[in-house]
Amino acid sequence: MLVLASASPRRREILSRFIADFHVIPSNAEEKCSSTVPEECAVELARLKAREVYSRVGGTVIGADTVVSIDGKILGKPGDENEAYEMLKSLSGRIHHVTTGYCIIHEGREISGSVTTEVKFRNLDDELIWAYIRTGESMDKAGAYGIQGKAGLFVEWIKGDYYNVVGFPMEIIWKLRELGFDVLSR
Ligand SMILES: Cc1cn([C@H]2C[C@H](O)[C@@H](COP(=O)(O)OP(=O)(O)OP(=O)(O)O)O2)c(=O)[nH]c1=O
C-alpha cells in the first residue's frame, strides 16, 4: 500500500498523474523544526510527517514539506493577511528559493532528500499584492503564493523543477520508480 502523508490537494493531484492507486492520510505531526537551514528544516518536517503516518498504518509512506527562503530567512505559511503582504513584499523583484524536503519510508527504510528551485519575481506594487491577497490564494501556501495559480504572473523566471515549487518534486516520483513502482501506468 502506497500512502501520501499529506493534506495538500496539490500533492495528491501531482502524485495521481503518475500512480493510480494510493491512499491519502494526512499527518498529525506538529510542524516545528529545530533547524534554521531551509534544506534541513524541510527534510526534518517531511520525516516527522512520514514517520507519524507510518507508525499508524505502515506500508510505503511519502511525506513532504515545502519552505520558501530569502536572505537565509524561512517563510512558512502566512498567519494572516498582513504577514502575507510582508512575505510578498520581501519577494518582490528578487530571487528566492523554494525547497521541498521529502521522506519515503519503504520496507522500514527511510529515503529522504530535498530539492531546491530558484524563482525570480517581478517588481510587485502594493496594489497588485493586495489584489492577490484578496483572491485568497496566499493563505495555505509557503511564501504566501501559489505559482500554479494567479501568482504565475509574478514569476519572471524559474531555475529547476517547477513541480517542486508546487510542493511535489519529480525526484520523489523518480525514487518511487527506483523502488519498483510503475510510475507511468496511468
Ligand atoms: C511556493 C508554493 C507553495 N505551495 C504550497 C505547497 C504546500 O502545500 C504548501 C506548503 O506547506 P506544507 O507544510 O509543505 O504542506 P501542506 O501543509 O499544504 O500539506 P501537508 O503538510 O499535509 O503535506 O504551500 C504551492 O502550492 N505553490 C507554490 O508556489
User: Residue 93: what residue type?
Assistant: G
Whole-angstrom Cα distance, residue 13 to residue 152? 18
Match 511519502 to its residue by C-alpha cell.
62
Instruction: Choose the catalytic residue: 65, 126, 161, 182.
Output: 65
Angle at 136 between CA 149 and CA 172, to 5 degrees: 45
pLDDT at residue number 185:
79
pLDDT at residue number 11:
98
Q: 65 CB under 6 A from ligand 1?
A: yes
Judging by DSSP bridges, how do beta strands 23-24 and 2-4 pair with one another? parallel
Query: Atom 8 (ligand 1): residue with closest C-alpha?
Result: 8
Q: Three cell numbers at 42?
A: 524541510
Whole-angstrom Cα distance, residue 162 to residue 117? 7
Whole-angstrom Cα distance, residue 135 to residue 105? 37
Assigned fold of 2-178: Maf protein (3.90.950)
pLDDT at residue number 137:
97
Instruction: Locate the ligand 1 atom nearest the alpha carbon of residue 151 and give its number.
Output: 29
pLDDT at residue number 31:
83
pLDDT at residue number 71:
93
Is 65 among the catalytic positions? yes
Cα torsion 48, 52, 58, 62: sign: negative
Cα torsion 125, 131, 135, 141: sign: positive
Domain definitions of the chain by residue range: 2-178
Q: What are phi and psi of 7, to 5 degrees?
A: -95, 0
Whole-angstrom Cα distance, residue 179 to residue 146? 30
Q: 145 CB under 6 A from ligand 1?
A: yes
Q: Is there a contact between 185 and 176 (Cβ–Cβ < 8 Å)?
A: no
CA 127 to centroid of ligand 1, rounded, Å: 25
Whole-angstrom Cα distance, residue 101 to residue 161? 13
Q: 99 CB under 6 A from ligand 1?
A: no
Q: Tens of pLDDT along the chain (186 residues)?
A: 999 999 999 999 999 999 999 999 999 998 888 999 999 999 999 999 999 999 999 999 999 999 999 998 999 999 999 999 999 999 999 999 999 999 999 999 999 999 999 999 999 999 999 999 999 999 999 999 999 999 999 999 999 999 999 999 999 999 999 999 999 977
Q: 87 CB under 6 A from ligand 1?
A: no
